[in-house]
């Protein structure tokens, strides 16, 4: 009987003892199984484990890299598909290892156990911007592609090593391929291209650099609350502006209008329409002239402008700040600070709302729910409330984003999906509307059927209430998470959108003997705004369809054109000359013709750097722009 004995590994193969004769058998690192049979002759069958099947893993890794990085470079609109392709490509590599790799089963299962452990550990140790980004999915979108591609590369590189060395190398590669993200942080990502603002974890954020820069600078803190009868400092406004002490109560106002140059969010009517200004559109000959550029605290606030001063909201460390600056120089005039800070990974820290100017006062709503009314001249507190606490509304995922609306004797804020009104003189609560979930939109004043009303888009759809008492006039159901403003057509219809994929809907609203009725005229997929407000002009709507500018006909919602890649930017309409002034998501300016015949870009110029979601402002011949890092002013050449 022929006896066999496996003696062990040798360099490049194995040693096998057959009846005292030792044979060195070369081959891959796999077990050798020998079965000997003796019949009248010797029948010897030897089976050697096949090597790892690496080519499917290599092919999947190459496809993953092409989809994740090459596809969006060639087709920018495919970034979401690219990110998802990287994720699912990593899953495909794991499936290859489990089903097709020929690895030992305990090696396959060991990898299947180690990879989730590596991801979990990375999430626990990562910077919170990485761990919580994209609603908690960012760590998976980043780490799975790097970990799995590195795993395939290691499997190929270690194919000639012993089993023990290969296992150790693969384990280290998995841990490093995932855990390397512990060393990074992100300042968020652009909505259009999903471009992460990645930095080393220990590097300072723009906000930290700003705080270090201004640490030794005198801060013009706002005056003490008026209730304390503190003496007011010398006026810091231009000579043409009144410098009288704050009255006990403001003069009555009949309608939501003001003489301010740009009284708040998207202008006097919250429609981003500029009239009375005609600018030169040949920016090669007459480009926007820079006046100043300066760092600003993070936040997605826009501007309110009155003469030579403007107001915005920002974050400075632990304090949420309402700031007043000079238009001509960008120099600070005063700051009001609240010990509050809102932060989430995608948008970063800071308030989202924009100040509203009315009769010498500044009305603001912060990211955590604080309502402030300040003296426009020196920042003294007139009154303050916590709308979140008083309504019981939880801070939504992206923070409270409403800008206050002043109507007659009330100041109205959208506390997420619930309207709340306060007496604008005293701050006493007046009324609260029904709670309708999440909203990032702001209350919109409208007159429909001859009746003044306040509209709000929320998670459940649209609601209209009476500004005097909050009584519900009508509602329209359309589920979503709206961010943009409803828009009004010249014949009294309402345009709305509720998600980045919902499209735009036109509603006919009327009042009959049985009360209010709302009917859908059409829904168009030709214009799908996300958080990028659109404008209405001469029977057409102009705005962002995803990251590309588009125009639709208001008669039927049909798209007239689509063109220009400006990311998820913002725009204003220069109505007197049929021109859109666009501020791209990357901080670049563009002029586009606001006519329905075709897309036509008239001019382009750089403005600021970084992710830019804030609404631009045109007040006279001054253009103000900002983002979460810097702000700038330009003088536009006007036609004479």
Residue with tokens 């999947």: 60
Domain membership of residue 258 (yes or no) is no
Considering the domain architecture, whether residues 370 and 437 belong to the same structural domain is answered as: yes
Domain membership of residue 257 (yes or no) is no
Percent pLDDT > 70 in the chain is 86
Residue with tokens 């948008």: 347
Predicted confidence at residue 79, as pLDDT, reads 81
353/261 Cα distance (integer angstroms): 19
The answer on pLDDT for 371 being more than 90 is yes
Q: Beta partners for 358?
A: 361
CA distances from 302 to 129, 264, 305, 618 (A): 24, 8, 10, 11
At 125, the pLDDT band (50, 70, 90 cuts) reads very high
Residue burial 397-420, b: 16+ Cβ < 10 Å; e: rest: ebbbbbbbbbbebbbbbbbbbbbb
Give the mean pLDDT of 481-493: 95
Residues of the domain holding 25: 4-48
Give the mean pLDDT of 101-125: 96
CATH number for the domain spanning 286: value is: 2.130.10.10
Predicted confidence at residue 514, as pLDDT, reads 85
Residue 275 has a CB neighbour count (10 Å cut-off) of: 11
Predicted confidence at residue 470, as pLDDT, reads 96
Considering the domain architecture, whether residues 452 and 326 belong to the same structural domain is answered as: yes
- Tens-digit pLDDT profile for residues 158-202: 999 999 999 999 999 999 999 999 999 999 888 777 788 899 999
Domain membership of residue 218 (yes or no) is no
The answer on pLDDT for 342 being more than 60 is yes
Give the mean pLDDT of 329-346: 96
565/559 Cα distance (integer angstroms): 17
Considering the domain architecture, whether residues 285 and 399 belong to the same structural domain is answered as: yes
The answer on pLDDT for 30 being more than 80 is no
Helix axes 138-157, 163-179, angle to 10 degrees: 160
At 226, the pLDDT band (50, 70, 90 cuts) reads low
Half-sphere exposure of 268 (CA within 13 A, CB side): 12
Is 164 within 8 Å of 107 (Cβ atoms)? Answer: no
**H or E element in which residue 21 lies:** strand 21-26
The answer on pLDDT for 427 being more than 50 is yes
Q: Is 319 helix (H, G, I), strand (E, B) or coil?
A: strand
Domain membership of residue 260 (yes or no) is no
Q: Specify the higher pLDDT residue, 10 or 86.
A: 86
Considering the domain architecture, whether residues 106 and 232 belong to the same structural domain is answered as: no
150/505 Cα distance (integer angstroms): 47
566/544 Cα distance (integer angstroms): 9
The answer on pLDDT for 407 being more than 60 is yes
511/379 Cα distance (integer angstroms): 43
Domain membership of residue 165 (yes or no) is yes
Q: Is 447 helix (H, G, I), strand (E, B) or coil?
A: strand
The answer on pLDDT for 402 being more than 90 is yes
Domain membership of residue 208 (yes or no) is no
Percent pLDDT > 90 in the chain is 79
Considering the domain architecture, whether residues 67 and 40 belong to the same structural domain is answered as: no
What does the DSSP 8-state code read for residue 207?
H
Domain membership of residue 256 (yes or no) is no
- Tens-digit pLDDT profile for residues 81-108: 899 999 999 999 999 999 999 999 999 9
Measured at the CA of 256, the angle between CA 255 and CA 262, to 5 degrees, comes to 140
Give the mean pLDDT of 277-281: 96
Is 293 within 8 Å of 608 (Cβ atoms)? Answer: yes
Predicted confidence at residue 219, as pLDDT, reads 65
Q: Is 80 helix (H, G, I), strand (E, B) or coil?
A: helix
CA distances from 303 to 87, 312, 347, 566 (A): 39, 5, 18, 21
* Tokens representing residue 409 in the block: 């004797």
Predicted confidence at residue 224, as pLDDT, reads 66
Alpha helices in 200-313 (DSSP H): 206-214
Phi-psi region of 30 (alpha: psi -120 to 50; beta: other; left: phi over 0): beta
Considering the domain architecture, whether residues 483 and 629 belong to the same structural domain is answered as: yes
Of the candidates 633, 604, 622, which has an alpha carbon nearest to the alpha carbon of residue 281?
A: 604
Q: Are β-strands 579-583 and 570-574 bridged in parallel, bridged antiparallel, or unpaired?
A: antiparallel
Considering the domain architecture, whether residues 490 and 436 belong to the same structural domain is answered as: yes
The answer on pLDDT for 235 being more than 90 is no
Domain membership of residue 504 (yes or no) is yes
The distance of Cα 183 from the centroid of its chain, to the nearest Å, equals 23
Report the mean per-residue pLDDT for the chain. Answer: 88
- Tens-digit pLDDT profile for residues 513-549: 889 999 999 999 999 999 999 999 999 999 999 889 9
Q: Are β-strands 381-386 and 472-477 bridged in parallel, bridged antiparallel, or unpaired?
A: unpaired
CA distances from 30 to 24, 94, 101 (A): 14, 21, 13
Considering the domain architecture, whether residues 379 and 408 belong to the same structural domain is answered as: yes
The answer on pLDDT for 580 being more than 60 is yes
The answer on pLDDT for 14 being more than 70 is no
How many domains in the chain?
3
At 153, the pLDDT band (50, 70, 90 cuts) reads very high
Predicted confidence at residue 50, as pLDDT, reads 82
Predicted confidence at residue 111, as pLDDT, reads 96
Considering the domain architecture, whether residues 406 and 554 belong to the same structural domain is answered as: yes
Considering the domain architecture, whether residues 482 and 552 belong to the same structural domain is answered as: yes
Considering the domain architecture, whether residues 312 and 442 belong to the same structural domain is answered as: yes
Predicted confidence at residue 260, as pLDDT, reads 54
Q: Is 129 helix (H, G, I), strand (E, B) or coil?
A: helix
Considering the domain architecture, whether residues 479 and 626 belong to the same structural domain is answered as: yes
Predicted confidence at residue 42, as pLDDT, reads 45
Q: Which of 34-48, 463-477, 572-586 has the lowest mean pLDDT?
A: 34-48
Give the mean pLDDT of 403-426: 97
Handedness of CA 225, 231, 236, 240 (dihedral sign): positive
Residue with tokens 């709670």: 435
Q: Specify the higher pLDDT residue, 146 or 232.
A: 146
The answer on pLDDT for 432 being more than 60 is yes
């Amino acid at each position: 009987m022929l006896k066999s004995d496996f003696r062990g590994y040798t360099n490049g193969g194995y040693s096998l003892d057959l009846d005292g004769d030792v044979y060195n058998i070369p081959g891959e690192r796999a077990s050798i199984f020998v079965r000997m049979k003796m019949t009248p002759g010797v029948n010897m069958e030897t089976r050697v484990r096949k090597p790892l099947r690496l080519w499917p893993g290599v092919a999947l890794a190459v496809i993953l890299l092409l989809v994740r990085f090459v596809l969006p470079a060639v087709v920018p609109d495919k970034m979401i598909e690219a990110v998802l392709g990287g994720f699912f490509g990593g899953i495909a590599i794991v499936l290859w290892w489990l089903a097709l790799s020929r690895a030992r089963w305990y090696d396959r299962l060991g990898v299947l156990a180690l990879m989730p452990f590596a991801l979990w550990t990375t999430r626990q140790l990562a910077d919170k911007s990485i761990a919580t980004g994209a609603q908690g999915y960012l760590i998976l979108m980043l780490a799975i592609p790097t970990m799995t591609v590195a795993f395939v590369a290691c499997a190929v590189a270690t194919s000639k090593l012993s089993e023990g060395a290969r296992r150790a190398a693969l384990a280290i590669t998995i841990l490093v391929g995932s855990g390397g993200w512990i060393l990074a942080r992100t300042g968020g990502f652009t909505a259009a291209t999903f471009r992460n603002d990645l930095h080393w974890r220990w590097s300072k954020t723009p906000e930290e650099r700003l705080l270090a820069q201004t640490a030794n600078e005198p801060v013009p803190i706002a005056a003490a609350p008026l209730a304390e009868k503190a003496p007011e400092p010398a006026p810091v406004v231009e000579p043409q502006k009144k410098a009288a002490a704050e009255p006990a109560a403001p003069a009555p106002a009949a309608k939501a209008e003001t003489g301010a140059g740009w009284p708040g969010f998207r202008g006097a009517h919250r429609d981003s329409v500029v009239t009375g200004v005609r600018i030169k559109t040949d920016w090669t000959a007459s480009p926007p002239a820079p006046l100043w550029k300066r760092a600003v605290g993070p936040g997605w606030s826009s501007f309110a402008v009155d003469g030579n001063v403007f107001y915005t909201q920002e974050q400075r460390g632990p304090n949420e700040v309402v700031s007043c600056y000079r238009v001509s120089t960008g120099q600070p005039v005063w700051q009001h600070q609240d010990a509050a800070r809102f932060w989430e990974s995608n948008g970063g820290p800071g308030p989202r709302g924009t100040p509203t100017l009315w009769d010498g006062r500044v009305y603001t709503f912060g990211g955590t729910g604080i309502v402030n009314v300040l003296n426009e001249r020196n920042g003294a507190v007139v009154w303050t409330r916590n709308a979140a606490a008083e309504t019981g509304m939880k801070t939504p995922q992206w923070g409270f984003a409403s800008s206050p609306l002043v109507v007659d004797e009330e100041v109205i804020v959208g506390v997420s999906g619930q309207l709340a009104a306060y007496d604008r003189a005293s701050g006493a609560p007046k009324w609260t509307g029904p709670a309708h979930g999440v909203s990032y939109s702001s209350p919109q004043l409208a007159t429909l059927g001859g009746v003044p009303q306040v509209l709000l888009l929320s998670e459940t759809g649209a609601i209209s209430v009476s500004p005097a008492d909050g009584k519900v006039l009508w509602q329209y159901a359309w589920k979503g998470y709206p961010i943009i403003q409803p828009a009004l057509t010249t014949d009294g219809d309402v345009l709305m959108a509720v998600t980045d994929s919902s499209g735009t809907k036109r509603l006919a609203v009327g009042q009959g003997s049985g009360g209010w009725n709302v009917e859908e005229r059409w829904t168009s997929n030709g214009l799908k705004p996300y958080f990028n407000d659109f404008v209405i002009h001469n029977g057409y709507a102009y705005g962002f369809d995803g990251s590309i500018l588009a125009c639709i006909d208001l008669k039927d919602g049909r798209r007239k054109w689509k063109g220009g890649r400006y990311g998820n930017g913002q725009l204003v309409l220069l109505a007197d000359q049929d021109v859109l002034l666009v501020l791209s998501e990357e901080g670049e300016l563009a002029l586009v013709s606001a006519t329905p015949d075709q897309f036509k870009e008239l001019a382009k110029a750089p403005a600021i750097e970084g992710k830019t979601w804030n609404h631009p402002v045109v007040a006279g011949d001054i253009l103000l722009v900002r983002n979460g890092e810097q702000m700038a002013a330009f003088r536009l050449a006007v036609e004479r």
